A and B are shown apart, each in its own frame.
Chain A
Amino acid sequence: MNRFERQIKLEGFGNIGQQKLRDAKVLVVGAGGLGCPALLYLAAAGIGTIAIADGDSVSISNLNRQIIFSERDVNKLKAEVAANYLKEKYNDLHIETINAFLTNENSLQIITKYDLIIDGSDNFETRYLINDACVLLHKPLVFGAIFQNEGQVAVFNVSRKNITSTNYRDVFPDPPLPEEIPDCNITGVLGVLPGIIGVMMASEAIKLLSGFGKPLINKLLFYNLITNSFYETEILPNINATVTAPITFEEFTSTNYNLQCKLVATISWSEALTMKNQSQNNVLLVDIRELHEQPRLDDIEYTNIPMQELFNSTEELSKAENIVVFCQSGIRSVKAAKALADTFPHKSIFSINGGISHYKKTATNK
């Protein structure tokens, strides 16, 4: 008897399917709501090598859906915690951790090492980046995403005889504008939704790698948790897909995946802090996150005005000539900066790129 007896017994899977999983190297991008359940099932199924890429740390509000993590893991690196957890369960699993977010500088070198990529990220920037890298490197991509009570799953970049491969840009050629993107903190989610979608992603990966069943190649599946309904559609190659996608490695590396840059002035932490140091009184640094959001910064001077309160605080804001806003990841702060720019047309308003998550990153990289 062995760990995989029950699936080896399965008609159409067998020892051959198991061996294919054993030989496979899978990269899971994001150990979050989708990544956690996907990782658990990929590891349990006997995937030989699993890499986990995530630059984030566990926070207490992750625990309703990111089921690998416990209360004692708060503030620890997600990729590390997840890797240790899986390694403890299955000693023969070869596991790799990448404690970083994927960027257009690091992703080609990372993605090229794996046979299949699972996109469990949580923002359009990363989704387009992973998609384009997988297209350039001809890597199969299992895509999953959620919005409130709905989820999407697809398998991109797989060609079969008589079938041309399609990718995310064949469905959605260009990323949406920042104002179309729901506020990452206000949108609620039941933990079971990314659970269902994440397990479906693992299922598609297992099917594709082992040659079992019919993976969602060139199909996009929608799931609605409220109504328990599914909707599946065929994806066809889209001529518009190639217009904006990078077609060489050089183009990829120089593509600006930062959706926010096009609309409001975004600056880095070092630019913001330099600005603040040079004209102390004229620069107001504002954390627009809710008061409970972690981590807080304790080594620099700033004001905390939650996004909803911004327009009740115009008196305080009007004192500074330059307002620099930041949030957790740089999405809300772009919206806030746009709104402030409308309210204070004569002031200079900036949003800090990547928000708190980038601050941590620069601090830990030193």
Chain B
Amino acid sequence: MEHIGIKVLAFGMIAEKIEATEFYLQHIKTTDEFMEYLTEKYPQLQGMKFTLSLNKNIINKNTAISEGSVVALLPPFSGG
């Protein structure tokens, strides 16, 4: 089977900062590892508040990421 890695979805200002609404990643095993990768690859995200959702569940602590997972980067919106 093809090595599919993980899919990343970005919303709101995060998508704006990284200039993509989705991308694919490989060889990432945990959410901590993912966050490390993200802040290194996209220093512009430094200090920005957003929440991680792994396979449609919001994650508050380090969690294992399995192949084929979808990780979403969710920033808060305030507009009305």
Contact = CB atoms under 8 A, between A and B. Distances in A.
Nearest to A174: B49
A234 interface: yes
Interface of B: 9, 11-13, 16, 21, 47-49, 51, 53, 56-58, 60, 72, 74-80
Contact of A152 (B16, B21, B58, B77): B77
A231 B72 contact: yes
A32 B80 CA distance: 6
A180 B47 contact: yes
A171 B58 contact: yes
Contacts of B13: 147, 180, 182
Contact of A124 (B12, B21, B76): B76
Nearest to B9: A231
A234 B80 contact: no
Interface stretch (A42-50, A235-243, A262-270, A341-349): A235-243
Interface string A177-196: 10111101001010000100
A148 B75 CA distance: 13
Contacts of B47: 177, 179-180
A123 to B, nearest CB: 6
B78 A145 contact: yes
Nearest to B78: A124
B2 to A, nearest CB: 24
A176 B76 contact: yes
A224 B21 CA distance: 11
A240 B51 contact: no
A151 B48 CA distance: 19
